[in-house]
Structure 1
């Protein structure tokens, strides 16, 4: 009996990845040692973890140019997952302001596990008006959108802002944040998601399968290019002279995943009479607190499509990869918390 009790308190379930590849081939659910928080760390009982389209590439070790950071031959972090929401289980002796039972959200490498020890400066109190599942829905996506608009575009009230990929993780936050800054927002998405983009506050919605949003009939002050699909001349047509093009994401190419297009854009910008700026987001507790305040003020709301259990991470990633998600996909790691609403 004592052995069983000890096992329960010193081990946990986690997704383990020892090599790069598709999740269905390389993920396994395994019992591993439960972490112990060090000085300045918080042991969080993980409740929810988002999965995104970017995760699919990271799991396969792409882009190759990122492997010095993520691991040359195999993942540096055996446990995948980059964000979380959960409940404080224990705190290190230098932690201040958090105590067991507090609900938190934030970011850390290795969150697809029942427990994780996270530095305190990578956590913030969960927004009071969200469930833990909702709070998990994309702090990193929110950082990206906020920094693209505030820091790179230097958005101002009254500007016309065009956001491609408006129904994706970053795009959903970008639409809402641009509205919060007082911009007139046009969101670009596929036919099936126009109602979603409209529901989060976009003033205008363009279905890219039916309309060329770079034909120059309407020109914008700012173009946040999330996926990197339009050609640079097409981006120029969409912008007013001197308009700002913010590169956020890229597609294609195993080495650079489209980020080589950023360099071409920066070099070509003076000749195209536009300002091209690249966004490489920075994880920031200060921005996490800004996000918390915006959520509690009702200006930003995470959008969750559905949840999957920890045993179905591969299925969740495949669902995202197929482009079917209408909002964030979240892995529900533990039992439902009080107030959580069923989403799947």
Structure 2
């Protein structure tokens, strides 16, 4: 296997604070949170067992907002540190010119990234399993299989977020571009559809003089946009049924492996001299500019008509302003970075 201690040591030096902060956060949010609530029970802070059940059981589901936020942010930030920031500083270019192959560089970054994401989840889960052996209350609240599924599903989600951001990192030549565009493309299909639908609804009302019915042909296609929205797909792993969680987690891991293979191919195809530019591949420039242009038009219409509350005139003002911004901004960014 192409493990390289030098590469792992270099990347660990960059990312070790991710590991320790992520580990502390998960320990505080899961096993410590459970222990703290149990101590409140012993001091009769809760009136009924139902309150305890609700408070403790939310630790391992989507209501534990701290864990969910960490799973959304840390994998992306970690990928940015390992890929986007290295491209911005041209560190990868230096390593490739040295004794390391592209596959070695990529492989060791991915292995370290997965280690940093999975081990804290695993340690938190193991801590909770140990607590089951020492506390009847914890044993009553959480089954061993429930904790194991939590470890598996949350690890799958973290790895998928990391893998998706790796693809974005190969397409964009800067850390800021990778970080922002990971979230933009993560929700883009459904958000683009919703912006289009709001504009369509406003125009329909203007032309026909009546509100658009909620159930209509345009609204019915929203489910297809949800299906191709990465973030929607990733969150399917948190289905409440344990059997469904296992299925979606395995499927998500398979997709994550596929995304990592795509990222590897893009890494092999990329030109190192493009690392400091907005886009790594010139062939994406037209698609990028068109996407920003259309999104800016729709966003401008919504901002002026709905948020600033200018009504129908604001819709068209927003189209003009948004279209102008959507044309100029990506053109400026591409030319500026290319010139520098």
Please give the TM-score of this superposition, normalised by the length of structure 1: 0.28
Greater share of strand residues, 1 or 2? 1
Greater share of helix residues, 1 or 2? 2
Structure with greater Cα Rg: 2
